[in-house]
């Protein structure tokens, strides 16, 4: 079984450009989470999506960042007009269900974004 897939693995963008990060959840999983990891830090929650729905984007910066999880295709995290501070590793996780208590989240290998 393929795990969570993310691409690209490494992405270099100049300041002001757009970055698009893709995440394909594990087969059978319909819940996707995006986390950001700055150097030497733990992961920070950004957004939680289900198919065609943003459930919680409380961890997303108010500007320039957006996420979607369309009915068909991967989830996409989009960063417009990137700045140096956006340089980080972005991880996607998926889970089969959200229940009580929270189900295990499986993480992808991450996309390392470097803004020059």
* Binding residues vs other proteins (CB under 8 A): 4, 6, 31, 33, 35, 40-45, 48, 56, 58-59, 91, 95, 98, 100-102, 104-110
How far apart are CB 111 and other proteins at their closest, in Å? Answer: 10
CB closer to other proteins out of 72 and 104: 104
For residue 92, the minimal CB distance to other proteins (Å) is 8
DSSP state of 26: P
DSSP H or E segment with residue 24 = strand 19-24
Backbone angles phi, psi at 84, to 5 degrees: -55, -35
Q: Nearest approach, Cβ of 91 to other proteins (angstroms)? A: 5
- Residue closer to other proteins by CB (options 62, 81) is 62
User: Residue 14 or residue 21: which is nearer to other proteins going by CB?
Assistant: 21
Q: At a CB cut-off of 8 Å and minimum separation 6, what does 86 contact?
A: 19, 79, 113, 115
How many whole angstroms from its chain centre is CA 104? 17
Beta carbons of 31 and 48 less than 8 angstroms apart: yes
Q: Least CB distance from residue 60 to other proteins, whole Å?
A: 12
Nearer to other proteins, 19 or 90 (CB): 90
Q: Dihedral angle at the C-alpha atoms of 68, 70, 76, 78, nearest 10 degrees?
A: -40
């Amino acid at each position: 079984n393929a795990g969570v897939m993310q691409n690209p693995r490494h992405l270099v963008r100049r300041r002001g450009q757009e970055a698009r990060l893709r995440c394909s959840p594990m087969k059978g999983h319909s819940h996707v989470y995006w986390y950001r990891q700055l150097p030497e830090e733990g992961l920070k929650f950004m957004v939680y999506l289900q198919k065609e729905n943003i459930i919680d984007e409380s961890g997303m910066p108010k500007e320039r960042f957006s996420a979607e999880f369309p009915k068909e295709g991967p989830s996409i995290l989009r960063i417009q007009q990137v700045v140096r501070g956006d340089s980080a590793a972005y991880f996607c996780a998926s889970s089969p269900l959200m229940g009580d208590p929270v189900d295990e989240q499986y993480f992808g290998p991450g996309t390392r974004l470097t803004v020059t």
